[in-house]
Amino acid sequence: MNGHLLLEILVAAIGAGTPFVYAALGELVTEKSGVLNLGVEGMMLVGAICGFIGMAKTGSLLVAVLAGMGAGMAMALIFGVLTLTLMANQVASGLALTIFGVGLSAFLGLTYTSIALPGVPALPIPWLSDIPVLGPLLFSHDILIYGSILLYAAISGFLYRTRAGLILRGLGEAPESAHALGYNVIGIRYLAVLFGGAMAGLAGVYLSVAYTPMWVEGMTAGRGWVSLALVVFATWRPSRVMLGAYLFGGITILQFHIQGFGIDIPSQLLSMLPYLATIAVLVLISRNRQTIRLHSPASLGIPYHPQS
Amino acid sequence: MKRHVTHLFTALCALACLVMVAGTASAADRLKVGFVYVSPIGDAGWTFQHDLGRREMEKNLAGRVETRYVEKVPEGPEAERVIRDLAKSGYDLIFTTSFGYMNPTLKVAKMFPGKYFEHATGYKLAKNVGTYMCRFYEGRYLSGIIAGRMSRTNQLGYVAAFPIPEVIRGINAFTLGARSVNPEARVKVIWVNSWFDPGKEREAAETLISQGADVITHHTDSTAPVLTAEEKGVYAIAYHSDMSKYGPRAQLTAVMHLYGKFYTDTARAVLNHTWKPKAVWSGIREGSIRLAPISPVVPEEVVALVEKTTKSIADGSFHPFHGPIRDQAGKVVVADGKTMSDRELLQMNYYVDGVLGSIPR
């Protein structure tokens, strides 16, 4: 395998990993506040179709992104009302949200299956993209990929370097204490849930507008579920989420290359590889019990009501 | 006054009854035809082609048939319920258009001996169950000729779903077609282990392109491979439907399967009481397989060759699987002068010479 091909695999891995980056980082923020939203797949699909409609109607990427994020947030709001205000079970509500999203996106997209979009052009950064190896790897992508990397920086900074991030994490650990200290637990959790929805929507927009610029029912094909799993296996740490997302994307691409080279490994086994390798790597690097306890939000999935 | 009202009411009732009787009478003349689809109709792909066929039949037999379809019916117990519901609500001829409907179709057919069933791609017949499928490989061979001539790198990429004989037959026919005009041509196959996953199909196509393939074809259900070829500036051969609007520069042609004639003929046979259970395997000759308009970038002589080959497949003077054909190891699988039988075609489980890699087992 020559260097050129290796570089192409890495570049493709970033593209393939990006939907996971958006959706998993969004879900990470939601879960850090102590709320488990299993509706990522549904929010992603509704985001994908709304972003697609936005792009098809206006031709503006900004509109597409706003539409997708808005749609994801609207879906998340439903979840928020059910679980935060009405105290419904989070697991059941999240599953319901996914099923609802699958149907709703199919319905909204009824007349959009026949439209082809131009896609999103790559935006090489001047000077930087001319650096050998690093240039094509990091500085020759489309704007949504740059956005996902900025999002990572922003979320890591927010969670571990700001007071607001500390409050959010505290909320996920001990909502009673946060409440006793005078923080509006339900309000902050709403914001975290909405943020998760917006990011899942954006992941959908990336898929339907940039990655495979088209709309078809169920086009996320389980990527929402993979994102959810990534958050857990990355033990709620943004850097490991990134690692997991690119690893998953990279091994998906790599296994196709292995097939293309005619290396004699059954393709069924190869298609398991991204899952196996990602789980194995993340479990191995995060196997310290102490750090898992430290990073996993203690109140995850447990409804909290200030009066109770 | 009251009496008048009563009279009026009675008259209206009688009229309504009359209309209803007339209505049922005209409906009884019509053949009700049901369709069960495995995926949404969408704009391109497997189910879209079946629905095109349904619409064509409706047009051909206007006034004599009425149709209904049910989309997105999962294979398995749910399918049985849908098929039974159609049969119960008066549908006399039911087309079930996916392989996994085979046993549900047979089961329901047993319960409704007076109704007629046609199952696509299956292999089990019954007194009131026929089967039908298309000779996709004929179109694959033709598209292979174009791919073989248009490739500069002599590397053709194939995004494939599952290693079943149907898909392998297509890969082999495509390879034979390509190598009939370009003995240097090689076909690289990537299995995505999914009929439908646009993301994976894109990634597989991208991989093939980065490994040197400059013509991409696919045996999967989405338009993603064609879109990817368009984006990367290579050629594509679409499958199921004409996808030129997704790849106006990329698409050289598309292998399309058309069911309009078969559906019309079958419905007509039921109307004329001449229907018999048959295993229909139709291709270019019957108009079930056709190439989409060939892109203007393909040289005239290649188009002429494709047209000539199409004609000889149609009149039976040429068969894509006509010997000598060698497998990957160089062993002769079809001797010189021999043609593969339908039985052998249906069981194909090896790659011919020119395909790279091995079939996953």
ipTM of the complex in this document: 0.74
Nearest to B191 among A207, A212, A259 (CB): A259
Pairwise CB contact (< 8 Å): B224 & A5: no
Q: Is A3 on the interface with B (CB under 8 A)?
A: no
CATH class of B137-256+321-346: alpha beta
CA dist A277 and A255 (Å) reads: 11
Mean pLDDT of chain B: 90
Residue A113 has a pLDDT of 78
Residue A5 has a pLDDT of 82
Asked if domains B31-134+259-282 and B137-256+321-346 share a fold, the reply is yes
Residue A308 has a pLDDT of 56
Nearest to A5 among B39, B210, B227 (CB): B210
Q: Is B202 on the interface with A (CB under 8 A)?
A: yes
The pLDDT of residue A146 is above 90: yes
- The residues that bridge with B254 in the sheet, in sequence order, are B238
Identify whether A36 is part of a domain: yes
Fold annotation for B31-134+259-282: Rossmann fold (3.40.50)
Summarised one tens digit per residue, pLDDT across range B14-29 is 545 444 444 444 445 7
Which A residues 159-188 touch B at CB under 8 Å? none
Identify whether A211 is part of a domain: yes
Cα radius of gyration rounded to whole Å, chain B? 24
Q: How far are the Cα atoms of A27, A40, A153, A300, B174 from residue A282, in angstroms, in the given order?
A: 17, 21, 20, 20, 42
Q: How many CB atoms lie within 10 A of CB B1?
A: 5
Q: Domain-by-domain residue ranges, chain B? A: 31-134+259-282, 137-256+321-346
Residue A13 has a pLDDT of 92
Nearest to A267 among B43, B193, B356 (CB): B193
3-class DSSP state for residue A60?
Answer: coil
Residue B194 has a pLDDT of 85
Summarised one tens digit per residue, pLDDT across range B96-115 is 999 889 999 999 999 999 99
H/E element, A54: helix A40-58
Nearest to B193 among A16, A212, A268 (CB): A268
Structure tokens at B205: 């196509």
Identify whether A303 is part of a domain: no
Summarised one tens digit per residue, pLDDT across range B175-230 is 999 999 999 999 999 999 888 888 899 999 999 999 999 999 999 988 999 999 99
Pairs from A254-259 (Cβ < 8 Å, separation ≥ 24):
A254/A9, A254/A13, A256/B190, A256/B192, A256/B203, A256/B204, A256/B207, A256/B208, A257/A1, A257/A5, A257/A9, A257/B207, A257/B210, A257/B211, A259/B189, A259/B190, A259/B191, A259/B207, A259/B357
Per DSSP, helices labelled H in A174-285 are: 175-180, 185-205, 223-233, 238-260, 267-285
Identify whether A138 is part of a domain: yes
Nearest to A216 among B42, B208, B245 (CB): B42
Q: What is the mean pLDDT of residues A97-109?
A: 95
Pairwise CB contact (< 8 Å): B190 & A260: yes
Residue A210 has a pLDDT of 92
Q: Tell me the chain A residues in contact with residue B231 when contact means C-beta distances shorter than 8 Å.
A: 119
**Orientation of helix A223-233 relative to helix A40-58, angle to 10°:** 130
* Domain housing A137: 3-295
Pairwise CB contact (< 8 Å): B227 & A5: no
Residue A163 has a pLDDT of 95
CATH at residue A250? 1.10.3470
Pairwise CB contact (< 8 Å): B207 & A211: no
CA dist B42 and B221 (Å) reads: 11
Pairwise CB contact (< 8 Å): A116 & B357: no
Pairwise CB contact (< 8 Å): B207 & A218: no
Residue B22 has a pLDDT of 43
Best B153, B201, B207 residue to mutate vs chain A (most A CBs within 10 Å): B207
Is the separation of the CB atoms in A23 and A200 below 8 Å? Answer: yes
Residue type, A302: I
Residue B19 has a pLDDT of 46
3-class DSSP state for residue B214?
Answer: coil
